[in-house]
Structure 1
Amino acid sequence: MPDVSASEQTVTRRAVVGVAAAAGVATVLPVGTPAAAAAVTRPADFVPDDPQLHLLRRATFGPSPSSIAEIRKLGTTAWLERQLKPSSIPDKVADGLVARFPLARLGIAGIRNLVTARKLKQYSWDPMWQLGFSAVGRAIWSERQLFEVMVDFWSNHLNVTCPHGDVWDSRIDYDTAVIRTHALGSFAAMLKASARHPAMLTYLDNRFSSKTSPNENYGRELLELHTVGLAYTESDVKDAARLLTGLTVDNTTGKYRYDAAAHATGAVRILSFQNANATAAGGEKAALALLDYLALHPVTARRIVTKLCVRFVADDPPAELITALVKVYLDNKSAIVPVLRALFTSAAFAASAGAKTRTPLEDLAATVRILGYGPAPTGTKFLESLYAMARDAGHAPLSWAPPNGFPDVASAWASPSGLLIRWNFHLLIAAGWWPDTLVRPANLMTGMLGALPATYGALITQLGVRLLGMAPPAAHVTALAEFYGRTPASPLRADEPAAGWMFSYLMAMLLNSPTFALR
């Protein structure tokens, strides 16, 4: 080993943060006056000018070495079409991870049977915790990436908080029967499945609604959050609540049932929907007719399409794109695949590079994915650790407490403490400190780059291309070389810290960059 100075031996948080800031991390989210924002480099300048990488950054939880190789081989159109047919994609790794969480695969009867057999405590949150852990695993290692992104999207749109005490026996089945079954189907079918699922009926109190005491909670959220937004009146809410009475949960089985005796009859008008609602026996059919009407309402179409554009295009998406996609949505009776196909092939999507910022969960998943680290061969602690990281960043999957779901705009996640949390888990994961059981190269430098680069500049540039899809700007390369007390032209030896024990710090600082922060 050559002599190493004290400054090289000790890497402090101040040093890492200082170099990262010098490399431009502070420019991820321009704030302040318009003049100040204009002085900041445009976000699009921080992302690769590569349409395939752009699609991967949006339609997945982040590019991985294997997904990059796949889209290069198949081409953009074939890759997208394959992702739109997830059942055709083998998903051995993700399926194996989910199999490690047996409670996360149970239906309502299965959970209740374990309680009866005294193998699980009544009201136990263990199945819901396992669902959250498995969601992290799927986001990172599933080959059906667009499907998993849409599962996350719909889990937020039709949110039932997980874990949540009242849905202890039904939240797992809601994920399977409602969200995952219909994620790439039609919104109308998903909305009707949600309205007749014990988890939603319990979460928003409709199971307790009756003709003598209609509960307005689900009726209001059905209109405001799930469909037409604020385009309703209090009269609409009251009539919706009355029409939805009788959609309830069997207390013995925990499953959905329609209780005609609890249904409030009498004519209703919700927006322009009218129904005589003359008999209790016909109440369920009338409620389903309302749900179809709402799912295909032009205002609902605009809300769903706008949320998809916010997720995949920009926090403030182009009005022209929204209008075009509303027509696709309505022409296809709320089918989601045609809308996604039109969105991803639009000129507005192609022009939106750099217009989105990753949420904490996406940042976490993207970190593991771009590093190419594999899951631990056995056990579940590593996924519990990754879930805890997401939770510490305020974004454990499925856990948003209010019924409106996690926000998906940069301003909701912009804070110094949130940025520091992300920087910390970049280093923890890259260095293999936590979780410490992920499968990664024995030698990080050769595993990431192959042969030893000749200079520090080449080291930084090659690793930038590997992790970010583009070479860092010259100023960033200089700043990162200075972190090691070198210049970009300094020769690099295999026995130097930068190629050994300090290589993970370089990985982390590149992951701290604006390029990685942008989706």
Structure 2
Amino acid sequence: RRQLYEVMVELWSNHLNVTCPSSDVWTTRAAYDRRVVRPHALGRFEDMLIASMTSPAMLLYLGGADSRGDAPNENYGRELLELHTVGIDAGYGQADVVDAARALTGLTVWRPWDEGVQAADVGTFHYHPDWHAVGPVSVLGWTHPNATADGGLDVVTSLGRYLARHPSTARTVATKLVTRFVSDRPDPALVARLAAVYLKSGTAVVPVLRALFASPEFAASAGGKTRRPAEDLLAALRALGVTPDPAATGPDGALGDLCWLLDGLGHAPLGWHPPNGYPDVAPPWLGAGTTLGRWNMHVGLAQSWWKDGLVMPDLATRLLGTAAPETRGALVDALLARLLPGLVVDPAHRTALATFLGGEGPVGDGDTTWLLPVLVALVLDSPYWSVR
């Protein structure tokens, strides 16, 4: 349900990354998704960016919550430019970073030890005028007199709107979308077209997605991207018909099982510690350790290792139907058609799978029972499965 929306939620959560678990954001990260990412995932990037700039989770994660006028913390100002908006090639310098940091001073979060704080306000955003650095600021052509401490929030909003509508930010967003949906090597011409749509639409995301999905580059992109571990796991769950066990809750439930699996593969939700977010290209996910982890995950799902939190259907019924194939070759063909629809499998690879069962002869008792899960895992281990 709403699959594109959830893909975009994951993309923006990764782009405006705030890692968790982290002692800094335990109490604020869930609200970050609810109030920053999810409301704007298919809205305007400008609105999402500004919401993130006053988000307790982001301010705590990048040190902005303690940034004061007498000692601005440059970390958030730098990441705002380098990662969230214009990108490292936009031509900004140290002076731009410093003024971005100065503009962001005074944005903070109520802490339990703050004088006069109410219990209900702990962990919420708070603007502290006395901490704001006043005086003219200039960032990549944006200027503001920044004359009063009380006007600091207006300065932040002005900077956010300017950066969101900057041509370099348009290229950043377009590149992010092309990398996600089309290719690890974004076509500059497609990026330029999408960036133009982004600017024309006032940073609205949906018109950019429509232009992307209508492009010939997207139409020709099938098989051009490699599934990351989370995509691999979700695709396997769907293909095998695995569902959560409603009777199992807590750490022993389905979410506990799935998080444990993804953590072992280095792709736990929200688990990327640097601010640049999980890689969205293939090479970082093709190492021997990750590949072995995927293979173990595939055989574990096929052989129902996680029975406490996940409901595993009968594989033969799920993948072969009620009328089982009469020959091993037909069994392999039926399995490939179900797991790899639309893909052309090399005849030598198909023969190898049949040979694993013992050849092309009649189906034996073990072929649809104890051997079938292993055969399924072999198909999921193949390069055919790893592409999307």
If the TM-score is normalised by the length of the shorter chain, which range does it land in?
over 0.9
Unaligned runs of 5+ in 1: 1-142
Quote the residue 1:179 is aligned against.
37
| Partner Cα distance (2:29, 2:172) in 1 | 25
Query: Is residue 416 from structure 1 mapped to residue 288 from structure 2 by the alignment?
Result: yes
Kindly state the Cα deviation for residue 267 of structure 1 after the two structures are TM-superposed: 0.6
Contact 1:161 1:401 in 2 (8 A): yes
Equivalent of 1:357 in 218, 226, 232: 226
Q: Which amino acid aligns with 1:250?
A: W
Structure 1 residue 472: Cα displacement: 3.0
Q: Distance in 2 between matches of 1:447 and 1:360?
A: 23
User: Matched residue of 2:243: which SS?
Assistant: coil
The answer for unaligned runs of 5 or more in structure 2 is: 112-116
Q: Which amino acid aligns with 1:483?
A: F
TM superposition shift of 1:403: 0.7
Instruction: Give how far 1:435 is off.
Output: 4.4
Cα distance in 1 for residues equivalent to 2:207 and 2:37: 18
Which residue of structure 1 aligns with residue 163 of structure 2?
Answer: 294
Which residue number corresponds to residue 383 of structure 1?
255
Give the deviation of 1:485 after TM superposition. 2.1
Specify the SS of the correspondent of 2:126: strand
The Cα shift of 1:446 comes to: 2.2
Residues 214-250 of structure 1, C-alpha deviation per residue, up to 9 Å, x if partnerless? Answer: 1111111000110011121000001111111111112
Cα distance in 1 between the residues matched to 2:293 and 2:307: 15
CA contact (8 A) 2:257 2:309 kept: no
Q: What is the one-letter code of the residue matched to 2:351? A: T
Is the aligned partner of 1:308 residue 2:177? yes
**Residues 181, 492 of structure 1: CA spacing in aligned structure 2 closer, same or farther, 3 A cutoff?**
same
The 2-side partners of 1:463 and 1:439 are apart by: 21
Superposed displacement of residue 405, structure 1: 0.4
How far apart in 2 are the matches of 1:459 and 1:328?
Answer: 49
In the other structure, the counterpart of 2:303 is 431
1:363-388 Cα shifts (integer Å, max 9, x gaps)? 11111012222211222323211111
Q: Distance in 1 between matches of 2:33 and 2:3?
A: 17
Distance 1:398 1:384 in 2: 15
Change in Cα spacing, 1:437 to 1:156, as seen in structure 2 (3 Å) is closer
Counterpart position of 1:322: 191
- Structure 1 residue identity aligned to 2:355: E
| 1:130-176 Cα deviation digits (max 9, x unpaired) | xxxxxxxxxxxxx2211111111111110110111011211110111
The whole-number CA distance in structure 2 between the counterparts of 1:177 and 1:300 is 22
Give distance in 2, aligned partners of 1:435 and 1:314: 37
Q: Does the CA-based 8 Å contact 2:248-2:308 persist in structure 1?
A: no
Q: Offset at 1:436?
A: 4.8
TM-score (ref. length: structure 1): 0.70
Secondary structure of 1:167's aligned partner: coil
Query: 1:35 is matched with which residue?
Result: none
Matches within 5 A, 1:67-78: none
Query: In the comparison of the two structures, how many residue pairs are matched?
Result: 372
Matching residue's letter, 2:161: D
Q: Letter of the aligned partner of 2:346 in structure 1?
A: P
The partner residue of 2:49 within 170, 175, 191 is: 191
Q: Which residue of 2 aligns with 1:509?
A: 378
Q: Kindly report the root-mean-square deviation, in angstroms, between the aligned alpha carbons of the 2 structures.
A: 1.3
**Counterpart in 2 of 1:158?**
16
Shift of 1:344: 1.4
For 1:461, the equivalent position in structure 2 comes to 333
SS at match of 2:271: coil
Partner of 1:40: none
Amino acid corresponding to residue 414 of structure 1 in structure 2: L
Residues 1:218 and 2:76 aligned together: yes
For residues 5-29 of structure 1, give each alpha carbon's deviation from its aligned partner in whole angstroms, at most 9, with x where no partner exists.
xxxxxxxxxxxxxxxxxxxxxxxxx
Q: Does 1:480 align with 2:353?
A: yes
Q: Is the 8 A contact 2:110 2:124 kept in 1?
A: yes
1:51 aligns to what?
none
1:473 is displaced (CA, Å) by 2.6
Partner SS, residue 248 of structure 1: strand
- Residue identity in the other structure for 2:206: V
| Structure 1 SS opposite 2:71 | coil
Structure with greater contact order relative to length (CA < 8 Å, sep ≥ 6): 1
- Secondary structure of 2:196 counterpart: helix
Identity of aligned residues (%): 52
Deviation at 1:325, TM superposition (A): 0.4
Is the CA contact (8 Å cut-off) linking 1:357 and 1:410 kept in structure 2? Answer: yes
- Structure 2 counterpart SS, 1:165: coil
Residue 93 of structure 2, aligned match among 233, 238, 246: 233
Q: Please give the alpha-carbon distance, in whole angstroms, between the structure 2 residues aligned to 1:222 and 1:435.
A: 44
Under a length normalisation based on structure 2, what TM-score does the superposition of the two structures give?
Answer: 0.93
Cα distance in 1 for residues equivalent to 2:219 and 2:241:
26
| 8 Å contact from structure 2 (residues 240, 315) kept in 1 | no
